[in-house]
Structure 1
């Protein structure tokens, strides 16, 4: 005898399922609900425990890469990006709206004059007098910066959006355990603490740690490759990025600076770019390398006469993430590098607690 399946045991077709199940809700949030969730998110961010010093990758890849958004949502998405990870407890200032990323001519890179130029940069670094921070003092770095906000909007996929150029000031104790960051518009008003008990390494070096590093370029490069193994897009790119991060918001002994430049020149893919411009508009020459995965070229820019480090720039050189070649994804300029007597004090205001 063949047993006939009951209706309950038979599979239901799509039409019948649609008839039996309740109609799906509208997934679109109302504006009020969206604002409520956004307010809750911002409160959660601002009331977290103080964050340690920002990671070395403070730039483009931490941000909203490749995320298409509507133009109307751009400012809100940017505000979220700028505030995430901030450790301040004060109210956040209004985040400036992002601007369209500049597009420049891609300058060719070459190894023809690389070795001789690096020697001149290293020699100038060795001869340059650098201040020696003592106990209770702070290393002060003032920069002008702009980083990528979003790669494009769904209204116009040909444009990338970046932060407007703005000032960023950092104070760090020589041992790296105490610090402060002030970045109006991108961190809570008054700034955030960078105090940290994290052990020093190449990923977050203090001045005291840098003093322990070898000034032999080969030994230094070997250590960099060893300590950054498995990080980044490739060993060579990570080694180059690590050296660059040591130049940006840190003070290093003169001989170590020279060794870092000589070590960088030994990394495969590093080239010399004859014309580059930092965030302050200063013209210079650059040591550069293309990240083969992301398609952008990081440039460390030096004064063509004094060979002093000026700042950095990242330029897209091949299409990737919807970003067209020539787009300037980030740009920095070191405006001041000094030793001061107190946290939040600025050069020229010694003893005033400015």
Structure 2
């Protein structure tokens, strides 16, 4: 702390000071911006399951989005309290927070039309490959370990000028350890979580996202599709919510092989699902994608698979039509699975003799 030796000791005349300052502004968030911020907040709560943080006011709980989208509203006063909740939601008492790396401009790609012609055959190939795959099974006391490369969008809006800009996080590593029942875990995402990582699993885990729950489900596409639709609610498109729910299961979890195939078959039955012949994940691997356009956000969510092995590689979100200033072709999110494995303890990384998927 720097002390100023010339600091005056006499008390300030607050009334006189108030008269000298201009009247405070009374900015307010536009309704659509407020909804996006609230949705991000609720998504963070569902996705990471960190220790509960105080919320300034109750907000309606929208359906979980499959991926995190940080929405930064550049309005000076009105958003301050809510924004603080978003920024510090993952912090735990006594933890050392770190400043996030500088954002970079979102990449822009040429939009490739999706097609419904190959949906059935592609889903059949994906399901067959997933069913035949050898997936390690976590035992008592073990953890599911997933390392990925990720980048998500942060959209800024200047309330004074009305200008908006689209930025994304630099590609960075994200490591997650999860117990099979979801009760314990650890998340390490340097620059975006507390230094050294944060504990996961406090509170009740979302049962559909735990290995234990998934392993108990029958590999029945009809039943899984019904389950996906049962999570839909609110005013958002129900078909998109069902697609997102399945995406949230396969993205950062170890899914039993037979069940993974049934999940792909279930997804293929959702109206609006298409095949995109060329999509690149966050590791620049080119693959074939199952995708669906969200009619409300204008974003097409793509699940990317290896063209030869049909194994899941990662995901991508591409803006197809302009919404909230996000131009068509903008890549608003990218992920790539680097390693899926079973390890003996949280914060332990895979080594010789441990199973990898």
Is the TM value for this pair above 0.5?
Answer: yes
Residue in 1 aligned with 2:125? 120
Give the equivalent residue in structure 1 for 2:282. Answer: 279
Q: Which moved more, 1:328-337 or 1:193-202?
A: 193-202
Q: Which residue of 1 aligns with 2:184?
A: 178
Name the structure 1 match of 2:267. 264
Query: 1:56: Cα distance to partner?
Result: 5.2
CA 1:145 to 1:268, structure 2 compared with 1: closer, same or farther past 3 Å? same
Provide the secondary structure at the position in 2 that maps to 1:332.
Answer: strand
- The 5 A counterparts of 1:187-206 are 187-198=193-204, 200-202=206-208, 205-206=209-210
Determine the C-alpha separation between the residues in 2 that align with 1:200 and 1:156.
38
Q: 1:107/1:83 Cα in 2 relative to 1: closer, same or farther (>3 Å)? A: farther
The answer to whether the Cα contact below 8 Å between 2:90 and 2:194 also exists between their aligned partners in 1 is: no
| 1:337 Cα offset (Å) | 0.2
Q: Secondary structure at the match of 1:218?
A: helix
Contact 1:51 1:85 in 2 (8 A): yes
Q: Deviation string for 1:85-144 (max 9, x for gaps)?
A: 334642112210111100111111001111001100110000000000000000000000
Give the TM-score, by structure 1 length: 0.77
Q: 1:312 to 1:123 in 2, by over 3 A?
A: same
Deviation at 1:261, TM superposition (A): 0.2
What pairs with 1:49-60 in structure 2 (closer than 5 Å)?
A: 51=51, 57=65, 59-60=67-68
String of CA shifts for 1:25-81, please: whole Å, max 9, x gaps.
Answer: 4437xxxxxxxxxxxxxxxxxxxx9526xx9547355x216x3569xxxxxx99985
Using the alignment, how far apart are the partners of 1:308 and 1:131 within structure 2? 15
Q: Is the CA contact 1:287–1:299 (under 8 Å) kept in the aligned structure 2? A: yes
Could you tell me how far 1:220 is from its partner in structure 2?
Answer: 1.1
In structure 2, what is the equivalent of residue 129 of structure 1? Answer: 134
Structure 2: runs of 5+ lacking an equivalent: 1-18, 26-48, 53-62, 77-81
For 1:289 and 1:248, the matched residues in 2 are separated by 16
Q: 2:20, 2:114 → 1: CA distance? A: 60
State the partner residue of 1:138.
143
Residue 297 of structure 2 is aligned to residue 303 of structure 1: no
Rg larger for: 1
Match of 1:94 among 77, 86, 99: 99
**TM-score, length of structure 2 as denominator length:** 0.77
- 1:166 and 2:172 correspond: yes
Partner secondary structure for residue 64 of structure 1: strand
Contact 2:153–2:332 (Cα < 8 Å) also in 1: yes
CA distance in 1, matches of 2:116, 2:93: 45
**Runs of 4+ with >2 A deviation:** 22-28, 55-61, 67-70, 77-89, 151-159, 199-202
**Aligned twin of 1:239:** 242
2:253 is matched with 250
Alpha-carbon contact 1:122-1:258 (below 8 Å) kept = yes
Partner residue of 2:15? Answer: none
Contact 1:82 1:187 in 2 (8 A): no
TM-superposed CA distance for 1:165, in Å, is 0.5
2:59 match: none
Asked if the contact 1:114/1:272 (under 8 Å) is kept, the reply is yes
Between the two proteins, the alignment pairs up a number of residues equal to 299
State whether structure 2 residue 30 is matched by structure 1 residue 27: no
1:292 equivalent in structure 2:
295
- SS state at 2:177 partner: strand
Distance 2:188 2:95 in 1: 12
1:110 match: secondary structure: coil
- Kept in 2, the 8 Å contact 1:295–1:318? The answer is yes
Whether 2:212 is the aligned partner of 1:208: answer: yes
After superposition, the C-alpha distances for 1:129-178 in whole angstroms (9 at most, x for unaligned) are: 00000000000000000001115567894741011100000000011100
The question of 1:224 aligning with 2:228 is answered yes
- Contact 1:145–1:333 under 8 Å retained in 2: yes
Q: Which runs of 5+ in 1 are unaligned?
A: 1-21, 29-48, 71-76
Give the drift of 1:210: 0.6
User: Cα 1:244–1:150, aligned 2, differ >3 Å: closer, same or farther?
Assistant: same
User: SS of the residue aligned with 1:285?
Assistant: strand
Structure 1 residue aligned with 2:42: none
